[in-house]
Structure 1
Amino acid sequence: MTLMTAFTLPVHDAQNHFRRLLKAMSEPGVIVNLNNTPEGWLPLNSATTSVLLTLSDQDTPAWFTPELSSETAQQNLRFHTGAPLAVKASLATFAVVNEQVTAKQLADFAQGEDVSPETSATVIVQVKSLSGGHMLRLTGPGILEERMIAPQISDVVLNALTERSHSFPLGCDFVFTCGERLLAIPRTTLVEVFDVRSR
């Protein structure tokens, strides 16, 4: 096994990154910079690695899209957090994907249940950039009126965000990562493709 670094100060860094993640989830679309991130467990970037280190434990199975499913990442996740690998996508608490994720894969992730919506999956999407993509308008809790974002996401992911198949409180939360930065779009957020002509 190739052992990679985790947090330099495990308790302090995990607490700090948890606060940053909480900010991202409570203020959808706000880009958050993570400080003191570990080196990414290739092919995972630093932000994805930090999210997994901060939130994973033995009760949170992780699933990786084939393009990100390296032995190094899987072994280090188990070593540092105790998190098991999900044997299938529907059992994942955290799903780590990139722009090659398919609509079927996204549909397979847990959407929660009426009596336990918290059992839905969190989908971590590695992107090339958090800007320069489709202009999206976000509205909902944590947003005063509206917030504009433009992460570079695939049409499959865009459709999953704008055409949610389940009504709140069901559905997946999304976290988009690039380098040491991230933004979140929780299932409470309404996402629309922005058309300047609507102004």
Structure 2
Amino acid sequence: RSTRATQKGDPPMQLQLDPHWRPATQQQVFRRLMQAMAYPGTIVDLAFAGPARASLAALATLLDHTTTLCDLDEVLAERDRRFLEARSAPHDDADYILALAQPRPEADMAPQLGTLAGPDQSATLVLDGEQIGAGDLLLELRGPGIQTAVRVALTGFHRDWFERRAAWTAHFPLGVDLLLADARRVLAIPRTTQVAFYENGRTKG
């Protein structure tokens, strides 16, 4: 993904890529994302990937020309869309969906959930919010990769996303995997994770 000047008489010039587009950085990001998926609720720091938001650093690592992307709220710059190389698709046919986390999901929002024969043919939903690790919205996570339970605090994430997720993951192995991101950090909530709201000292399904 680098470009050299080809105009006659100009010296060769390497395009300076932002860190999140560099293979070495993407390898580090990939390892962090795999850690997040293996241990749901664990917050991983992607600040080393440069000034880009963590959602873009994750997408830059996971996407290529073989994948499809729905930029639900059209937040990606045109240059970033070109570098991602992923083909555009509607939300019900995309491998990856990028969405702002604060607006509630539209009523017709329907990501791919996979099939019994191909549960991997489902979407990964990347929610970009204000802050993970602090806030008034508290989730309690249980399931594989979690010793007992882990609580996650969020700011700028609409609770309707998690209520809709409950419906999307009701018939395992069908479902969606979530990546929650803020400016520099990411945590994962795979479809295998049970999520409850934690309010007034108790959980609500």
Pick the TM interval, shorter chain. 0.7 to 0.9
Aligned to 1:60: 67
Deviation at 1:63, TM superposition (A): 0.5
How well do the aligned residues superpose, as a CA RMSD in angstroms?
A: 2.3
**Against the structure 1 CA distance between its residues 165 and 140, is the aligned structure 2 distance closer, same or farther, given a 3 Å change threshold?**
closer
Deviation at 1:5, TM superposition (A): 3.8
**Against the structure 1 CA distance between its residues 109 and 92, is the aligned structure 2 distance closer, same or farther, given a 3 Å change threshold?**
same
In 1: Cα distance, 2:180 partner to 2:42 partner = 11
Are 1:5 and 1:39, in contact at CA under 8 Å, matched by a contact in 2?
no
Is 115-124 or 189-198 further displaced after alignment? 189-198
- 2:190 is the alignment partner of 1:176: no
Aligned to 1:13: 25
In 2: Cα distance, 1:176 partner to 1:169 partner = 21
Q: Where in structure 2 are the equivalents of 1:62-77 lying within 5 Å?
A: 62-77=69-84
Of the candidates 123, 138, 142, which is equivalent to residue 139 of structure 1?
A: 142
Is 49-58 or 161-170 further displaced after alignment? 161-170
Are 2:20 and 2:26, in contact at CA under 8 Å, matched by a contact in 1?
no
Are 1:6 and 1:53, in contact at CA under 8 Å, matched by a contact in 2?
no
Greater fraction helix: 1
Aligned to 2:113: 111
Of the candidates 50, 75, 99, which is equivalent to residue 97 of structure 1?
A: 99
Deviation at 1:169, TM superposition (A): 1.1
Are 2:178 and 2:188, in contact at CA under 8 Å, matched by a contact in 1?
yes
SS of residue paired to 2:125: strand
**Against the structure 1 CA distance between its residues 56 and 6, is the aligned structure 2 distance closer, same or farther, given a 3 Å change threshold?**
farther
Deviation at 1:186, TM superposition (A): 0.6
Identity among equivalent positions (%) equals 28
Aligned to 1:22: 34
Are 1:97 and 1:124, in contact at CA under 8 Å, matched by a contact in 2?
yes
SS of residue paired to 1:119: coil
Q: Aligned pair count?
A: 186
Counterpart AA for 1:132: G
Deviation at 1:155, TM superposition (A): 2.7
TM-score, normalised by the number of residues in structure 1: 0.84
Deviation at 1:196, TM superposition (A): 3.9
**Against the structure 1 CA distance between its residues 4 and 111, is the aligned structure 2 distance closer, same or farther, given a 3 Å change threshold?**
farther
Counterpart AA for 2:25: D
**Against the structure 1 CA distance between its residues 8 and 187, is the aligned structure 2 distance closer, same or farther, given a 3 Å change threshold?**
closer
Spell out, residue by residue over 1:123-160, the C-alpha distance to the aligned partner (whole angstroms, 9 max, x if none): 00000111203111100000000000012210321312
Of the candidates 49, 55, 60, which is equivalent to residue 48 of structure 1?
A: 55
Spell out, residue by residue over 1:8-44, the C-alpha distance to the aligned partner (whole angstroms, 9 max, x if none): 782321111111000111111111001421432xxxx
**Against the structure 1 CA distance between its residues 138 and 151, is the aligned structure 2 distance closer, same or farther, given a 3 Å change threshold?**
same
Are 1:4 and 1:76, in contact at CA under 8 Å, matched by a contact in 2?
no
Counterpart AA for 2:148: E
In 2: Cα distance, 1:20 partner to 1:190 partner = 22
